Structure 1
Amino acid sequence: MKTRVLAMMAALSACVPQATTTATETETGTEATGTATTAEAPTTGAPAQCETFPPYRIDVQAEPNGLYYRADEQRLYIADDDDNRVLVRDEDGEIEVFADIPNPSGDPGSDGLGDLDFAADGTLYLPRFGFGMPGLGAIFRVAPGGTPEALAGVDAEWRRVGLDYDDARGLLYVATYSRDADDVYTGWIASVDPVAGVETMIVGGLAKPLGIAVLGDTLFVGDQARRQLFKLDLKAAAPALTLVSDEFESLDLMETTADGALLVLSYDTANSTGRVYRVTQDGAISTVAEGDWEPRGIAFDGVGRIFVSARDTQQIVVVPAC
């Protein structure tokens, strides 16, 4: 899970029916042309209360996608799509390479990297997107020293962007989808046992799931193409999708908070506006931040800063968590 012991340490010390969706795909961007319809921004409640500051941008000289802030280290980990690397940035602004992820295509932009998540033992997990090209889709385990290893038992042609490691169950939950020759997306949620090397579909009925997050026994997933946020009960013998909201326009990656809420990324294509929403487990939605950026990845420092990857800018936007 994204907000676990690592984040808490710093805080304490300071199925829907299957339907076809046709779309044009970048890595995480979708311009839907099928069953999905344009939605208004969600009706939101009052923003959270915290110490605010003027939003600012960090220049990373990379194409950031997935992000993860390790509060115990006070460092931000960054998936770099430009060069298939994981970078790490400290609070002084120094950036170094943490891991080089293999790119069999020879063109890093054709492989792509997705979300980042750490297990409690310091192991980093991330997917290589692959665009459905034979042999390019993968999930990597990166040791604390930065050595990457592809997980066994993972289908190399499936597309994956969002994942979340569940320490309680020892499983990765992965937002997974395929795209056929007619540009129709078919999506599902999979679990991956990184030790046994087994990938298992948990529930289908999605189009293009991206963001995914575990909160206790509840798994949340956002379907970008259908603009819907779902949850499912991991304790159920046959988990089923329950709709949380269908008011978002275009969902991307998401993050959890220590008080049991979600930070969800969305992009208003009509107004070229990116937004961060806070979603509680009972479905209450509030707007945390918005701006002239197209969001991709998100991280939370567990205190007051939210980091958002801004597409095609080589920058990370930093906004207050209220």
Structure 2
Amino acid sequence: MLGRMRGDAGLTTKWDSIPCEDPQSLDDVSGDKNSDGFTPGNCAVHVTHWRPLGDGTKHGNNNQLDKHQLGIMIKDGTNKQMMFAPKQPVMGTLSAHTSLGPLNVTVDDDTIHFFHGNQHWTEDSKDHQCSFPKAKWDGDTETKSGSCIYHCESPPESVPDDLDSKDLQVTPIQKAYDGNGGNPNMHFADDYRKGWCTFHLRVYQRNEDNEDLNPSSFYAMEIALYDAGDDDNDAKIIAYQSQTFAEKSVNIQGPLPYELIATPPKDDDDHVYFKYAGASFHTGDKKNCGNCGAYDSGAMDCDCGFTC
């Protein structure tokens, strides 16, 4: 039985009392385009799911947080991309907005749940032709990805009168971040231990058509910022910036007195450049950065530090 989201006290859901609705028909042909140029019919959603890997201390490259993270792409009835929400933490329910209606997505016990109009299904739904691997995660990366089909109209099918749509999902319901700036980075502390702060950087190559990476024309960057820790080297995460398309720069601060400013590379052979409190360095500086690998499958990881 589904109940509270694991690890998030106070977040409740009523899934156990609500039957999953079948789509009206997954054999319907697509309709006419709407005013935004998108076609209703059988929409497709592709999701990549990063499993929580730690408790706020440093760990692997793929998910620096103790929360589930999702990346979402939605295509219309003609397979035209409508929206892309890059990798971001799930605090309750992510609402992916399109002109064919919102698709709400959340996670319970490692299982993804989808909501659109009167449709509610999970990642293993045969009716929605879902293609997620059954109970399998991709080795040490602790990720999985797959797609589902759902019936999308403009406007979407209405939720039955006897159901409150806000009761169908884990709260809070937040609009999915589209990666184009304006996303307040997550703060995890009001104070920090001074000394040598560190951060983990992941850079995503541009124009990656792979649905769980970066289809934009800009490089994208993701930053997890840690304090200096103590003699036991127990550095704690103090701020996090979700994957953000970096036309100019990506900034992160948390409880630090100044922003750390990261400027994206001009091409794959270029460095990422950083500024903090008058100091400058880049991913090629061995004094500040190490473990900087080459691009692999569309992304590059690097660990850096600076005096804070």
TM-score range, shorter chain: under 0.3
**Higher CA-based Rg:** 2
What is the TM-score with the length of structure 2 in the denominator? 0.28
What is the TM-score with the length of structure 1 in the denominator? 0.27
Larger RCO of the pair (alpha carbons < 8 Å, separation 6+)? 1
**Higher fraction of strand:** 1
